Amino acid sequence: MVTKACLLSFLLFFLVSQIDLAHSDADHDHQKQSPFKFLKHLQGCHKGEKVKDVNKLKKYLEKFGYLSYTNNHSHANDDDFDDLLESAVKTYQLNYHIKATGVLDSNTVSKMMMSRCGVADIINGTTSMRVGKKRHLLSSHNFRTVSHYSFFRGEPKWPASKYHLTFGFLPGTRSDAITPVTRAFMTWAGNTHLDFTQTQDYTNADITISFHSGDHGDGNAFDGRGGTLAHAYAPQDGRFHYDGDEPWSVGASQGAYDMETVALHEIGHLLGLGHSSVKGAIMFPSIAAGVSMSLHGDDIQGIRDLYNIA
């Protein structure tokens, strides 16, 4: 016969097991949500050290354009904090207005761990976000630096024959994304001489919007929750991809990312803008969950300069 004591013990054991399982699941989810989490234990690292996961830091900085081991493959996958890595960290710090020490200090780690756009800050060696004199072209670089905003190399933009652009949502796009994305297009239309019309004929649309997870065939795989949120391409490659694994919301919502705010950023890329070093600008590379933003003066100045709008 089962005693009351045995029954209570069994119930207690069951409850504790469920709590442990819940904690385990939560920890697993948290790890999945933090592809940049490895950076936390690298805080304080500097040149001359060899620390586990420095190779992941190298891959992070390569992904966002700060580092290339093209001429020295031997160190690309090791954990040595070498001269090239120190230089890359310094450039990152300059772009984000952090003291350029080359040391992975707390401010640098905190900034690197933020969710962000998947488009690189620097392409082919260009320091895209650093302040430069207006109309000053940095030689041998891929972005032209103008004030705080930036353009892609060659300043690609939509030609006069394509100022009336169509956009369409690919099948499988979540229905609650349509209104905030459409509003984002209208915001850009109000600050340019471009106009945008939604079309159901997405196969012939100038711009397409879609949600994807992981490797989705464009060579820029998403990394799950909490890493890169979205990416888009320069004119006239009108692809705009959201990471479908992220927690999305319509408007500011705690723990989620506002689809309209991210759309404003990615449409900026579709129109030809690179990243900005102005923290309040929509073209700043990173964004926190639970916030909504609109265009900043720097974004408007940038798009008007690119399209020669008085």
Residues classed as catalytic? 266
Choose among 213, 307, 209: nearest CA to 267.
209
Tokens 């892609």 belong to residue: 152
- Amino acid sitting at position 121: D
Separation in Å, CA 121 to CA 1, 169, 267:
70, 27, 16
Separation in Å, CA 225 to CA 120, 174, 209, 213:
18, 17, 19, 10
Helix (H) or strand (E) holding 151, with range, is strand 149-152
Q: What angle do CA 96, 273, 247 make, to 5 degrees?
A: 70
Coil, strand or helix: which one is 156? Answer: coil
User: In sequence order, which residues have a C-beta less than 8 Å from that of residue 18 and are 6 or more positions away?
Assistant: none
**C-alpha to C-alpha distance for 210 and 216, rounded to whole angstroms:** 11
